Amino acid sequence: MSVLSGLTAALSDGSIEVIDLTTPLSGDTPVLSLPQPLANTVGLTLSSVSNFDDAGPAWAWNDVTVGEHAGTHLDAPVHWITGREGKSVDRIEPRRLVGPAVVIDKRAEVAQDPDFLLEPEHLEQWQEEHGQLPENCWVIFRTGWSARGGNASDFVNADESGPHTPGVSVAGAKWIAGNDRISGFGVETVGIDAGQAATMDPMFPVHSFLLGADKYGVTSLRQLDRLPVVGATLVVAPLPIVGGTGSPSRVYALVEAS
């Protein structure tokens, strides 16, 4: 049996499960909000073209208006000034969008501190426990934050000082960006940076370091509690928008059934 035949058979008989990690995209899905006078993206709007009526008696379809960075979405290098000469979404090699998922589980820490930051020592400790990161991997930051997804206010978790959501320190972002085995970084929050990242130097260090290093981000993931720490394969499927700085994406994990 060939490798692909074995995979197809395993998907058919359920020995490999496909887990959807994507937040459903609607007009109510929270999107990142920047303070004035900075401009903000839009969420999702559907406008009916026809709906089994005189405009189209046998079919229904909609026009879609949506920001590149709405809902579960991929950040391409050209999204950030450090990567402005890099790849747009359509130019990212498909092989970079499929790879091993390694899960950094900090749910307990985030439950105690919503501003928790991932540091280099956390990533190094993971390798001490589980071995060297695999080639072309996606580092998945499991925080439990998606449990707040049903309430936009809880999900954004903002006060007078701005949002309070977990993320990565400046040193942690440099560590991830500098590791050649990593293709991307995935989070449960609305953006790949911490809620207080605007106060860091540089601002939004995950965007700054990772996108400048030809690595990619994916946000608003769900069902990460169903992933093993090692052993899953991540599949990120953005639209190949020509010149796009990002794209709403469907994100799957292939996991061996227990």
Which one-letter amino acid corresponds to residue 230?
V
Please give the average per-residue pLDDT across 228-238, as a whole number. Answer: 98
> What pLDDT shows up at residue 177?
98
Q: Is the bond into 120 cis (omega within 30 degrees of 0)?
A: no
- Asked whether residue 228 carries a pLDDT value surpassing 90, the answer given is yes
Q: Phi/psi at 23 (nearest 5 deg)?
A: -80, 125
> What pLDDT shows up at residue 1?
76
Please give the average per-residue pLDDT across 28-52, as a whole number. Answer: 93
How far apart, in whole angstroms, are the C-alpha atoms of residue 155 and residue 153?
A: 5
Please give the average per-residue pLDDT across 231-244, as a whole number. Answer: 98
Please give the average per-residue pLDDT across 134-153, as a whole number. Answer: 96
Confidence class of residue 36 from pLDDT cuts 50, 70 and 90? Answer: confident
> What pLDDT shows up at residue 221?
98
Residues with catalytic roles: 79
Confidence class of residue 33 from pLDDT cuts 50, 70 and 90? Answer: confident
Q: HSE of 257 in the Cβ direction (CA atoms, 13 Å)? A: 10
> What pLDDT shows up at residue 239?
98
Please give the average per-residue pLDDT across 195-217, as a whole number. Answer: 97
Confidence class of residue 35 from pLDDT cuts 50, 70 and 90? Answer: confident
Q: Picking from 69-83, 84-98, 148-162, which range would have the lowest pLDDT averaged per residue?
A: 148-162
